[in-house]
Structure 1
């Protein structure tokens, strides 16, 4: 009997989806996107974040990522599968699993949170894309770089969708029009490691 793999903690679930009610409000630098009913924690690194429930109800939606959990796991260096620390206690480096598509490591940034050494084989077994093209690294350090976001344009106070899944740096002037769905992190000191077998 095959062992059933758990859904990585970073994956969004069906019961967590909520409508995004966003509007534009006048700010010091012109119109700025915000939620119609603001709450503490709406913003991360100066960019408005998409909202989701955090109950993990319903089926996991592969490969959809839960915005808040993804940001939290990156910010704290936590494993995207088990939520434990992804930092190697001996070397002080973080374990990171990337797609070996020829670009992920070369561009130096990713939207993937780290993956602890123990969970790497499970993550590869769970993800069809990683089964075909996985690369394991340790990372000396990392820092927020940008966001993956949907852009809106103002029509008075209304927010009209303009572009989906746009990569923006944190200094991009379009940040005031962005509803971020994922944090992008810049990886420093990538060191290739052997692929870990399950």
Structure 2
């Protein structure tokens, strides 16, 4: 890669960086439905959609960790409909529909859900060009609306008040009782009225 090309490369804003990782100090404490996972030192914003969220710094320092995402940014971009690359609104002002760039593996489109925030129309070509996975299997869609339905999370079990890790990368619905034992790393959304944008082509 030339120096000029390197300066043009832009990692999506949703990507996590090495310098943003922090230890997760967790414990179980009493709640109305029994012990519930929480951070040892609670802060505003620990919870999202009723689920405890992983902590990270927000400095974007260090090497980008592709394809790992930054939990809070991923959550924010989905909740506010912002593009995961440039952070501008991803909703088409004319049609009112949301642009979504998905991996063309059949799973996301067929089942109508994803962990990816939307991608605005202007950033779609860049995202496809710069992501090796999307270059092989990219599909562009629009959705009339979307709704959070679950989380990707790591599960913990209580032991003398401590939190013991038991399982990683588990998909849970927001109503699952196991959410009380979960540390969410990504928000999952259901896309409504998903329509392919054939003008972009697939597998570009």
Q: What is the number of residues matched between the two proteins?
A: 198
Structure 2 spans left out of the alignment, 5+ residues: none
Name the residue aligned to 2:51: 47
Name the residue aligned to 2:106: 102
Structure 1 spans left out of the alignment, 5+ residues: none
**How much has 1:125 moved relative to structure 2?**
1.2
Q: Which runs of 4+ in 1 moved over 2 A?
A: 1-4, 194-198
**Given the two structures, how large is their TM-score scaled by the length of structure 1?**
0.97
Tell whether the 8 Å contact from 1:135 to 1:195 is kept in structure 2 after alignment.
no
Match status 1:190 vs 2:200 = no
Q: Pick from 81, 84, 90: which aligns with 1:77? A: 81
Mapped to 1, the partners of 2:199 and 2:21 lie a distance apart of 35
Matched position secondary structure for 1:30: coil
Map residues 95-134 of structure 1 onto 2, 5 A cutoff. Answer: 95-134=99-138
Tell whether the 8 Å contact from 1:8 to 1:82 is kept in structure 2 after alignment.
yes
Name the residue aligned to 2:155: 151
Mapped to 2, the partners of 1:66 and 1:196 lie a distance apart of 28
Mapped to 2, the partners of 1:186 and 1:156 lie a distance apart of 37
**How much has 1:107 moved relative to structure 2?**
1.2
Mapped to 2, the partners of 1:86 and 1:66 lie a distance apart of 18
User: What is the CA deviation profile of residues 102-149 of structure 1, one whole-angstrom value per residue up to 9, with x for unaligned ones?
Assistant: 111111110000000010011111211111111000010001110000
**Given the two structures, how large is their TM-score scaled by the length of structure 2?**
0.94
